Amino acid sequence: MAPSTTVPTVQDVEVPETLLKKRKQNEKAREERLAAATAARKAAKAKRKVIFKRAESYVKEYLAKEKEEVRLKRAARASGDFYVPAEPKVYFVIRIRGINNIAPKPRKILQLLRLLQINNGVFVKVTKATQQMLRLVEPYVTYGEPNLKSVRELIYKRGYGKVDKQRIPLSNNAVIEEALGKYDILSVEDLVHEIFTAGPNFKQAANFLWPFKLSNPTGGWRTRKFKHFVQGGDFGNRETNINKLIRQMN
């Protein structure tokens, strides 16, 4: 029997070439993973900075708009004139009646507006075409001009996105960026701004938002919904009074 020894043989010392190649490949892969992780962290940090700066600029923009409105109101009062606010750019439309006895044309318009159920709500850009559509479905909906508070609270509290025809909660900015990043909408605040200001990509932003599912208003819908708002009822254009209804239903 040959005596045991701890001295390595030539075979032990000579590492197979394939093993060396594998080690090099593993080391290279590890370095690439580390580099990718570092790059991803840097990109995420840069993106957070962009989102934060945009949010700051939006706040300044909103405040400047409010101050300008106050200035114009004061100037109108001082000169004895009436202040005429700017025409609304966006409506929030809520369906308040069901499907019974709806003529084919109004039914089709409600489908186009994606108002398929009672208490569904959507943002609509104010154009000549949408105003004509709303007139045709007026007995079945109520609508008006949402303020910034309403837009923000609706999106933050009830907002869901349409991703691959699925209703996905807006739990983080990644959901929004994946769907709307090509339109430079990267965050919830970008989405709020695009909707509130009726931005150039309003259509894409509004269509991304799943129709809002709201609660019944305080006291529920009563027979008032068969009268126009200006007659003490519920349907039709309630202008800025839509914000009070949104508070009750959100």
pLDDT digits (tens, 9 = 90+) for 40-49: 677 667 777 8
Q: Give the confidence band of 160 by pLDDT, cuts at 50, 70, 90.
A: very high
Q: Which of 85-89, 127-131, 184-188 has the lowest mean pLDDT?
A: 85-89
pLDDT surpasses 90 at 215: yes
Contact of 152 with 243, CB cutoff 8 Å = no
| pLDDT reported for residue 2 | 54
Q: Domain 90-249 is classified in which CATH homologous superfamily?
A: Ribosomal protein L30/L7 (3.30.1390.20)
The alpha helices in the chain, defined as continuous H runs, are: 10-13, 17-78, 104-112, 128-136, 148-158, 173-180, 188-196, 202-208, 242-249
Q: Which of 40-54, 109-123, 134-148, 167-181 has the lowest mean pLDDT?
A: 40-54
Residues 6+ apart with CB under 8 A from 50: 186
| pLDDT reported for residue 34 | 73
Four-residue CA torsion sign, 59, 156, 130, 119: negative
Averaged pLDDT, 232-248: 93
| pLDDT reported for residue 32 | 75
Could you give the CA distance from residue 150 to residue 146 in angstroms, rounded to a whole number?
6
More confident residue, 206 or 17: 206
| pLDDT reported for residue 15 | 60
Q: Give the confidence band of 11 by pLDDT, cuts at 50, 70, 90.
A: low
Mean pLDDT of the chain: 88
| Amino acid at position 192, single letter | V
What is the pTM (predicted TM-score) of this model? 0.80
